Structure 1
Amino acid sequence: MSDKLSHISPHLRLQVSKRARRMALRLDTKERVVYLVVPAKADMTTAKNFAKEYKHWIQEKIDALPEPVPFHDGVVIPLFGRNVEIRVNYDQTLKRTSIELKPRILLVNTNKKDQKEVSDRIMRFLKKEATRVIRALAVEKAARLGKAIANVSVRDTRSRWGSCAEDGNLSFSWRLIFAPWEALDYVVAHEVAHLVHMNHGKAFWNLCARISTDYETGRDWMRDHGHELMSFGH
Structure 2
Amino acid sequence: MNTRSKDVDILNVTFRGKEIKAILVYKNRKNISIKIDSFGKVIVISPPKISKKIIKDIIIEKGDWILKKLEKYKDREEVYRQRMFITGEKFLYLGKEYHLVIKKLLEDSVKKSNCRINIDESEIIIQTNDVSTEFIKKSLKSWYKMESERIVLERIDFLKLNCEIMNQLIPASVKVKEQKKRWGSCTSQKNIYINSKISMARLDVIEYVIIHEFSHLAHMNHSKKFYDLVKSIMPDYKDKENWLKINGYKITI
Normalised TM-score (structure 1): 0.61
Cα separation, partners in 2 of 1:213 and 1:107, compared to 1, 3 Å: farther
Hey, what's the Cα distance between the residues in 2 that align with 1:213 and 1:66? 34
What is the number of equivalent residue pairs in this alignment? Answer: 169
Question: 3-state DSSP class of the match of 2:189?
Answer: coil
Contact 2:102–2:131, Cα closer than 8 Å, also in 1? no
- Which residue pairs with 2:130 in the alignment? 112
Hey, what's the Cα distance between the residues in 2 that align with 1:225 and 1:72? 22
Contact 1:186–1:213, Cα closer than 8 Å, also in 2? no
Shift of 1:81: 1.2
Shift of 1:215: 0.9
- Which residue pairs with 2:150 in the alignment? 132
Question: 3-state DSSP class of the match of 1:107?
Answer: strand
Question: 3-state DSSP class of the match of 1:89?
Answer: strand
Contact 1:91–1:109, Cα closer than 8 Å, also in 2? yes
Which segment is superposed worse, 175-184 or 124-133?
175-184
Hey, what's the Cα distance between the residues in 2 that align with 1:65 and 1:89? 26
Deviations 1:92-147 (A, max 9, x none): 14654111233432221111132321232122111111122123323543563223
Shift of 1:219: 1.1
Normalised TM-score (structure 2): 0.57
Structure 1 gap segments, 5+ residues each: 1-62
Q: How does 1:146-185 map to 2 (within 5 A)?
A: 146=167, 147-185=169-207
Does residue 121 (structure 1) correspond to residue 119 (structure 2)? The answer is no
- Which residue pairs with 1:82 in the alignment? 96
Q: How does 1:1-234 map to 2 (within 5 A)?
A: 66-67=78-79, 68-93=82-107, 96-142=114-160, 144=163, 145-146=166-167, 147-212=169-234, 214-229=236-251, 232-233=252-253
Hey, what's the Cα distance between the residues in 2 that align with 1:103 and 1:214? 28
Contact 1:189–1:211, Cα closer than 8 Å, also in 2? yes
Shift of 1:170: 0.5
Question: 3-state DSSP class of the match of 1:167?
Answer: coil
When the two chains are superposed, the root-mean-square deviation of aligned CA atoms in Å is 2.7
Hey, what's the Cα distance between the residues in 2 that align with 1:210 and 1:118? 42
Contact 2:99–2:124, Cα closer than 8 Å, also in 1? yes
Cα separation, partners in 2 of 1:213 and 1:140, compared to 1, 3 Å: farther
Q: Which runs of 4+ in 1 moved over 6 A?
A: none
Cα separation, partners in 2 of 1:105 and 1:217, compared to 1, 3 Å: same
Hey, what's the Cα distance between the residues in 2 that align with 1:223 and 1:214? 15
Structure 2 gap segments, 5+ residues each: 1-74
Question: 3-state DSSP class of the match of 2:197?
Answer: helix
Cα separation, partners in 2 of 1:69 and 1:98, compared to 1, 3 Å: same
Shift of 1:217: 0.9
Contact 1:71–1:122, Cα closer than 8 Å, also in 2? no
Shift of 1:64: 10
Cα separation, partners in 2 of 1:142 and 1:198, compared to 1, 3 Å: farther
Hey, what's the Cα distance between the residues in 2 that align with 1:160 and 1:83? 21
Aligned residue type for 2:86: H
Deviations 1:132-181 (A, max 9, x none): 21233235435632233321122221232211123321012122232333
Hey, what's the Cα distance between the residues in 2 that align with 1:197 and 1:179? 25
Aligned residue type for 1:169: N
